[in-house]
């Protein structure tokens, strides 16, 4: 019997997760299906339980349900427990178990695929939602000199910093309080989907060598366009992160690691 997996989000039509996991399954000879579902904004937990009750084995979670997935789980693995958000659920011995592979996927894309080690670098994350929570822990553990989380609601940014303060030099602030001096800026908001520009001051981009938008498949988002206009040499979307975090989930679910570079190449969209 074919094993069932899925991704849940809202919106979800843009998701490349089915293509990625189908490619992984073909690579590794796995008998599995993978679907995409749009859950109601206030109904993720019920939709996820319905999927599991119908025999589903695992779920990836995208915007805006990563905190909901964390809250509904019966058991939390380290990445989810420490960050307070989950991007992957699995049924293990009848229990819904949550993990977060966002940060691992992001870190692997930046350090391995983009050949940009983060040790000693000063990094800014824009946004304080579930995506930012998942990204912050591995980035802090990568040996950055400072990780700053900026958000409209400064309380949310500072809450993440306080939660993860034992794992590295992390601070939270409002967008208006962001100054320059960063090596890398990461957009962890959904503005790339909405077409809006982040309210970051232009000075935040001074000296930046890499601007990374976690949104993927939208070409040159307003964030990346602003970064390019302000002189950032390397602008990248989240296609590599998406594939790398998917590979971590696939390994967790199926016990085999797929080959990621050809899948990244297959889903990339030119940034122009």
Q: How far is CA 62 from CA 18, 160, 174, 262, in A?
A: 13, 19, 24, 23
Catalytic residue, from 66, 156, 218, 265: name it: 66
Give the DSSP H/E element, type plus range, for residue 75. Answer: strand 75-76
Residues in CB range of 81: below 8 A, 6 or more apart: none
**Can you read off the two tokens belonging to residue 113?**
């695929």
Residue 21 CB burial class (10 angstroms; 0-12, 13-18, ≥19): buried
Asked if residue 36 lies in contact with residue 19, where contact means CB atoms within 8 angstroms, the answer is no
Q: How many CB atoms lie within 10 A of CB 132?
A: 28
| H or E, element range at 92 | strand 88-92
Q: How far apart are CA 10 and CA 154, in angstroms?
A: 25
Cα 204 from Cα 126, distance rounded (Å): 11
- Of 267, 246, 251, the closest CA to residue 21 belongs to 246
Tokens of 2: 């074919």
Displacement of CA 165 from its chain's centroid (Å) = 20
Q: Is 66 designated active site? A: yes
Read off the tokens for 152: 């409209």
Q: Rounded to 5 degrees, what are φ and ψ at 106?
A: -65, -50
Catalytic residues: 66
């Amino acid at each position: 019997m074919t094993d069932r997996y899925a991704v849940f989000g809202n919106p979800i039509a843009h998701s490349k997760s089915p293509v990625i996991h189908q490619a992984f399954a073909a690579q590794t000879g796995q008998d599995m299906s993978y679907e995409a579902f749009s859950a109601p904004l206030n109904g993720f937990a019920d939709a996820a339980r319905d999927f599991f009750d119908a025999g589903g084995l695992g779920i990836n979670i995208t915007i805006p349900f990563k905190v909901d997935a964390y809250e509904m789980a019966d058991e939390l693995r380290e990445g989810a427990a420490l960050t307070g958000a989950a991007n992957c659920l699995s049924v293990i011995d009848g229990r819904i178990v949550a993990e977060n592979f966002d940060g691992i996927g992001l870190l692997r894309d930046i350090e391995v695929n983009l050949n940009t080690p983060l040790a000693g670098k000063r990094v800014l994350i824009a946004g304080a939602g579930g995506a930012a929570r998942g990204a912050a822990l591995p980035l802090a553990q990568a040996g950055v000199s400072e990780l700053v989380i900026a958000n409209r609601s400064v309380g949310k940014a500072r809450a993440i910093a306080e939660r993860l303060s034992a794992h590295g030099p992390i601070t939270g602030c409002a967008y208006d309080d962001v100054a320059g001096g960063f090596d890398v800026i990461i957009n962890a908001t959904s503005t790339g989907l909405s077409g809006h520009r982040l309210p970051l001051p232009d000075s935040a981009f001074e000296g930046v060598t890499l601007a990374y938008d976690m949104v993927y498949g939208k070409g040159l988002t307003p964030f990346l366009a602003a970064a390019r206009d302000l002189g950032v040499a390397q602008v990248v979307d989240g296609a590599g992160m998406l594939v790398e975090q998917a590979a971590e989930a696939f390994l967790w679910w199926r016990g085999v690691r797929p080959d990621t570079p050809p899948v990244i190449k297959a889903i990339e969209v030119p940034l122009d």
